[in-house]
């Protein structure tokens, strides 16, 4: 077995690999960019080496630098994780040339499966069903359009050299084809350095089901059953589970057998995933399946397979790469229970799921146990989410005896997430897990799009119980501050040092002013022992605080109470209240509300930005400028494309007008909030 392994990755997957390496007594070597100098994987590894600037092209994608560090550190092998260089055949060959073991499949298999067009041909020859489409080498626009017309709209444009939803567009009619093709090619070029496209028939209401396969150097190949990854947004997986709902043993044997045949066709060694697109039958049950692609690496969702099979797939990778046979034969691999994984991201669902890079001011994740697993990629409060990389914070996985129990367990775990400083998708994930269609197992890749109005209710004002909890949080803070001040005074027991509303011969009153969605809400609070009477917009409630929470007199975000014990008209809701500057974060029943603490002086100084200026929604790079100065544009017309965290975001014109100013060109880096384009609206 290896004595020392370099991990050519970052974040959650690097930490995941380090964990298994430590258990096996293997020393781990981390590499890091300038943006990751204080990252969790750097702290957890036995050794760490700086390899370049923040941009991935200058650090995590620099083959020569990574191989050089591995040699310098005395590593015997390199584990690529997933993403970055994990499916780069040149990297695998560079490792071999340097006398290092690449913990992954041979370069020939990576190349065969990395070229999606070639992979389809191999699968057809091996008898694995494939989706009808065009996989040819001729890539001019006319040829691709003719192929789309022959197949029949709607079609799917896919990057020939990659996966993960990058460089993928659905085209429903010919009029959309040119813009979709340009965007897909641009995104594919940025992600994979290759803009070749496949054109395929779009399967209506498809399911995305994949099979985990594993091979060793002795010719043994097994499967570890299937996973359902149908709950997606923009071709990015959101929720994954194993086994797939609605699958019987006969259908499972067919798709798993096809996956093993696919792996044998390329003499596969190591961990791999064969992905299939599956037609939905009655009640969402799986119908015919078609080979989509093979990922020649470990997948983000591998924990659900580990949970139902009781295996450690990273350990299997180490052992197979070291020349050992597979740890288990096919007949010994058993499936027990059900596992579901949710991907916790720093992104803003209410704002088109735009990435939310920045510094995490407070972080609380679910408690881990034998049935709830948390694979996190950042250390906690104070950690940075760099704009240059994927914004994943953690993966949260639950395992139970059956699917219904597992989904309930995972939702409860998601409701424990407490993160401030960056916006996350935690509440959105909680609503997905509670959605009736998902609970019933009726999953397909269009589920989220069809349900978005329910999953992202627009214009929600904070309900009365949330406003009450926010008020109680502020009152608790005042009590703690007063107690701290009194303790430092000459007379700590003076009644005048109290902040619980006590008054001589009367009950104290105060008006708390909160900002909810831009509007100010005045909430009169009257101290009535042993609690308060709060005059909320929807009526008056009687609230009672429990024991005093913790409060620290500094500028850092403060958890006023992790599980506030309160009584609201006889009810006892569970909640957490966190104050971060002038913002109160209330976490309650799976929701996250942000309420401002009204500051009249700040409100008077507030002003609007430049009239007609369209700003960058996040830090990133200008991928394309699609208009010229002086050009007349229509409402909704694409103006400029910002690339951030490996995804493109198009900024459209808010109304008809004339472009009066363009402040950036393609390739420029921009900060969040910077004005990109100024459009002077038409006047009537």
The answer to which of 414-423, 452-461, 475-484, 572-581 has the lowest mean pLDDT is 475-484
Catalytic residue numbers, as ranges: 297
Structural domain includes residue 110: no
- Both tokens of 101, joined, read 């073991």
Q: And the tokens for 191?
A: 């992600």
Q: Are 68 and 137 within one domain?
A: no
As given in the structure block, the two tokens for residue 463 are 């309900």
| pLDDT for 88 | 96
Please give the pLDDT value at position 606.
39
**pLDDT at position 500, please?**
53
Using one digit for the tens of pLDDT, what is the confidence trace for 224-274?
999 999 999 988 899 999 999 999 999 999 999 999 999 999 999 999 999
237, 436, 458: which is closest to 349 by C-alpha?
458
Q: Same domain, yes or no, for 342 and 422?
A: yes
pLDDT confidence of residue 618: 72
Of the ranges 117-131, 205-219, 290-304, 521-535, which one carries the lowest mean pLDDT score? Answer: 521-535
Q: What is the pLDDT of residue 506?
A: 43
344/395 same-domain check: yes
pLDDT: which is higher, 518 or 502? 518
CA distances from 535 to 213, 395, 528, 531 (A): 61, 41, 13, 13
pLDDT-derived band at 401 (thresholds 50, 70, 90) equals very high
pLDDT of 410 reads 98
Is the CA virtual torsion 136, 141, 142, 145 positive or negative?
positive
The per-residue pLDDT for range 474-515, each reduced to its tens digit, is: 887 777 776 777 676 666 666 655 555 544 444 567 889 998
Strand-pair category, 27-33 with 4-7 = parallel
Domain shared by 469 and 585, yes or no: yes
Burial of 338 (0-12, 13-18, 19+ CB in 10 A): buried
386 and 446 together in one domain: yes
- Kindly state whether residues 295 and 344 are assigned to the same domain: yes
Q: What is the pLDDT of residues 311-342, one digit of tens each?
A: 999 999 999 999 999 999 999 999 999 999 99
Q: pLDDT tens digits for 181-224?
A: 999 999 999 888 899 999 999 988 899 999 999 999 999 999 99
The pLDDT value given to residue 654: 84
Q: Is 124 part of any domain?
A: no
Burial of 538 (0-12, 13-18, 19+ CB in 10 A): exposed
- Extended beta strands in 100-220, E state: 101-102, 133-134, 155-159, 169-171, 197-201, 206-215
In a domain, 417, yes or no: yes
Q: Which long-range contacts (CB under 8 A, 24 or more apart) does 667-671 make?
A: 667/621, 667/622, 668/621, 668/622, 669/619, 669/620, 669/621, 669/622, 670/616, 670/619, 670/620, 670/621, 670/622, 670/642, 671/616, 671/619
Domain count, the chain: 5
Using N-to-C axis directions, what is the helix angle for 403-414 and 426-434, rounded to 10°?
150
The residue range of the domain holding 527 is 464-602
Nearest 5°: phi and psi at 427?
A: -65, -35
- 122 contact partners, CB below 8 Å, separation of at least 6: 112, 265, 266
Closest CA to 385 of 344, 417, 418, 349: 344
Task: Report yes or no: 528 and 516 within 8 Å, Cβ to Cβ.
Answer: no
The separation between the first and the last C-alpha atoms of the chain, rounded to the nearest angstrom, is 76
**Looking at the structure, do residues 662 and 676 belong to the same domain, yes or no?**
yes
Contact (CB, 8 A) for 633 and 656: yes
CATH number at residue 193: 3.30.1490.20
The gap from C-alpha 648 to its chain's centroid, in whole angstroms, comes to 16
Contacts of 253 (CB under 8 A, 6+ apart): none
Are 400 and 471 in the same domain? no
Task: Say if residue 611's pLDDT is above 60.
Answer: no
Are 69 and 218 in the same domain?
Answer: no
| Same domain assignment for residues 188 and 213 | no
CATH number for the domain including 246? 3.30.470.20
Assigned domain for 112 exists: no
Across residues 16-40, what is the average pLDDT? 97
* 98 CB-near residues (< 8 Å, 6+ apart): 67, 70, 71
Any idea what the CATH number is for the domain that residue 77 is in?
Answer: 3.40.50.20
Q: What is the pLDDT of residues 612-643, one digit of tens each?
A: 568 887 778 898 999 999 999 988 888 998 88
Which of 92-96, 435-439, 456-460 is predicted with the least confidence, judged by mean pLDDT? Answer: 456-460
Range with the poorest average pLDDT among 112-116, 228-232, 521-525 = 112-116
Read off the pLDDT of residues 554-605 as tens digits, 9 standing for 90 and up.
445 554 544 444 556 555 566 788 888 888 999 988 899 999 887 654 444 4
Our CA dihedral for 428, 557, 581, 455, rounded to 10 degrees, sits at: 0
- Write the CATH number for 650: 2.40.50.100
* Phi, psi dihedrals of residue 233, rounded to the nearest 5°: -135, 125
Q: Which residue has the higher pLDDT, 119 or 49?
A: 49
User: What pLDDT is attached to residue 508?
Assistant: 63
Tell me, yes or no, whether 115 lies in a domain.
no
Residue 163 scores a pLDDT above 60: yes
Q: CB–CB of 275/100 below 8 Å?
A: no
The first and second tokens of residue 123, run together, are 């699968």
Give me the pLDDT at residue 317, please. 98
Q: How confident is the model at residue 548 (pLDDT cuts 50, 70, 90)?
A: very low
- Domain boundary (167, 201, 235) is at 201
In a domain, 126, yes or no: no
Give the Å distances, CA to CA, from 323 to 26, 101, 197, 215, 319.
Answer: 16, 10, 37, 11, 7
Final residue of a domain: which of 168, 201, 234? 201
Q: What is the C-alpha to C-alpha distance for residues 546 and 214, in angstroms, rounded to an integer?
A: 54
Assess if residue 607 is contained within a domain. Answer: no
Same domain, 407 and 538: no
pLDDT value of position 17: 98
Most confident of 43-57, 342-356, 515-529, 661-675: 43-57
pLDDT of 480: 72
Q: Is the pLDDT of residue 423 over 90?
A: yes
Rounded Cα gap, residues 164 and 295, in angstroms: 9
Distance CA 79, CA 86 (A): 8
**CA 481 to each of CA 82, 179, 477, 549, 584: distance values in angstroms, whole numbers, following the listed order:** 48, 58, 6, 11, 17
In this prediction, residue 123 has a pLDDT band, given cuts at 50, 70 and 90, of: very high
Mean pLDDT over each residue of the chain, to the nearest integer = 88
DSSP annotation of 632 reads E
Are 350 and 241 in a shared domain?
A: yes
Query: Is there a domain that residue 76 lies in?
Result: yes
The answer, yes or no, to whether residue 69 has pLDDT greater than 80, is: yes
């Amino acid at each position: 077995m290896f004595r020392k392994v370099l991990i050519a990755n970052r974040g959650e997957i690097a930490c995941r690999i380090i964990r298994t390496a430590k258990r096996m007594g293997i020393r781990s070597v981390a590499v890091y960019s300038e943006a990751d100098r204080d990252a969790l994987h750097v702290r957890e590894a036995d050794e760490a080496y700086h390899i370049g600037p923040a941009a991935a092209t200058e650090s995590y994608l620099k083959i020569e630098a990574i191989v050089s560090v591995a040699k310098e550190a005395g590593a015997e092998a390199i584990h690529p994780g997933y993403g970055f260089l994990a499916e780069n055949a040149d990297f695998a060959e560079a490792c071999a040339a340097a006398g290092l073991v690449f913990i992954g499949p041979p370069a020939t298999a990576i190349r065969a499966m990395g070229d999606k067009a070639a992979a389809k041909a191999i699968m057809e020859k091996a008898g694995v069903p494939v989706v009808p489409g065009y996989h040819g080498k001729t890539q001019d626009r006319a040829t691709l359009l003719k192929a789309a017309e022959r197949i029949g709209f709607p079609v799917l444009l896919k990057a020939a050299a990659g996966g993960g939803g990058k460089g993928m567009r659905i085209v429903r009619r010919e009029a959309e084809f040119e813009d979709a093709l340009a965007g897909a090619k641009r995104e594919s070029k940025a992600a994979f350095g290759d803009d070749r496209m496949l054109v395929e028939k779009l399967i209506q209401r498809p399911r995305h089901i994949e099979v985990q396969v594993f091979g060793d150097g002795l010719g043994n190949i097994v499967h570890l059953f299937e996973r359902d990854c149908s709950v997606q947004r923009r071709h990015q997986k959101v929720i994954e589970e194993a086994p797939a709902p609605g699958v019987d043993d006969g259908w499972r044997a067919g798709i798993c057998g096809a996956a093993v045949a696919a792996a044998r066709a390329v003499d596969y060694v190591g961990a791999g995933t064969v992905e299939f697109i599956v037609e939905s039958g009655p009640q969402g049950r799986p119908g015919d399946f078609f080979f989509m692609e093979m990922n020649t690496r470990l997948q983000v969702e591998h924990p659900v397979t580990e949970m139902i099979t009781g295996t450690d797939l990273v350990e299997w990778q180490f052992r197979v790469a070291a020349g050992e046979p597979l740890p288990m034969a096919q007949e010994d691999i058993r499936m027990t229970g059900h596992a579901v994984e949710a991907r916790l991201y720093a992104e803003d669902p209410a704002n088109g799921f735009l990435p939310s890079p920045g510094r995490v001011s407070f972080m609380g994740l679910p408690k881990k146990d034998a049935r709830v697993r948390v694979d996190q990629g950042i250390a906690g409060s104070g950690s940075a989410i760099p704009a240059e990389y994927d914004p994943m914070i953690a993966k949260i996985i639950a395992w139970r005896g059956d699917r219904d129990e597992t989904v309930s367990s995972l939702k409860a775990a998601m409701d424990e997430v407490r993160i401030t400083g960056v916006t996350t998708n935690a509440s959105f994930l909680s609503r997905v897990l509670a959605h009736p269609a998902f609970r019933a197992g009726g999953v397909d890749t269009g589920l989220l799009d069809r349900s978005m109005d329910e999953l992202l209710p627009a214009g929600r004002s904070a309900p009365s119980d949330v406003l009450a909890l926010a008020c109680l949080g502020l009152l608790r803070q005042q009590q703690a501050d007063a107690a701290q001040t009194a303790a430092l005074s000459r007379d700590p027991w003076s009644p005048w040092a109290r902040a619980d509303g006590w008054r001589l011969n009367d009950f104290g009153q105060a008006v708390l002013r909160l900002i909810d969605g831009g509007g100010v809400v005045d909430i009169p609070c009257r101290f009535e022992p042993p609690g308060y009477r709060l005059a909320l917009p929807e009526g008056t409630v009687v609230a009672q605080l429990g024991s005093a929470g913790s409060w620290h007199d500094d500028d850092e975000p403060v958890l006023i109470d992790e599980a506030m014990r309160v009584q609201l008209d006889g009810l006892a809701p569970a909640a957490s209240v966190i104050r971060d500057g002038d913002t109160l974060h209330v976490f309650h029943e799976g929701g996250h509300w942000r309420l401002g603490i009204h500051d009249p002086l700040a409100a008077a100084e507030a002003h609007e930005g430049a009239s007609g200026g369209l700003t960058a929604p996040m830090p990133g790079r200008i991928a394309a400028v699609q208009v010229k100065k002086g050009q007349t544009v229509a409402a909704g017309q694409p103006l400029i494309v910002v690339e951030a965290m490996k995804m493109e975001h198009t900024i459209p014109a808010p109304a008809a007008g004339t472009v009066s100013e363009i402040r950036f060109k393609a390739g420029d880096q921009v900060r969040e909030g910077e004005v990109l384009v100024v459009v002077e609206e038409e006047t009537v």
